[in-house]
Amino acid sequence: MMGNLLFLKVGNVEKQQLRIYLMHIVLPNSMVLCKFGKSSGESSKQRMLQICADIYETYPERRTPSIKIVRDRKCENPFELECVFKEFFKSYRYTTKSKWGGSTECYVIPLEDAKTTFDLVIEGHVPDFTYELSDTLEDELQF
Report percent pLDDT > 70 for the chain.
83
Mean pLDDT of 39-48: 94
Q: Which of 111, 105, 66 is nearest to 87 (CA)?
A: 105
CA distance 92 to 54: 22
Residue pair 59/89 in contact (Cβ under 8 Å)? The answer is no
CA distance 92 to 9: 46
User: Is residue 55 scored above 50 in pLDDT?
Assistant: yes
pTM: 0.82
Residue 15 banded pLDDT, cuts 50, 70, 90: low
State the pLDDT at residue 71: 98
User: Is residue 1 scored above 50 in pLDDT?
Assistant: no
User: Is residue 5 scored above 80 in pLDDT?
Assistant: no
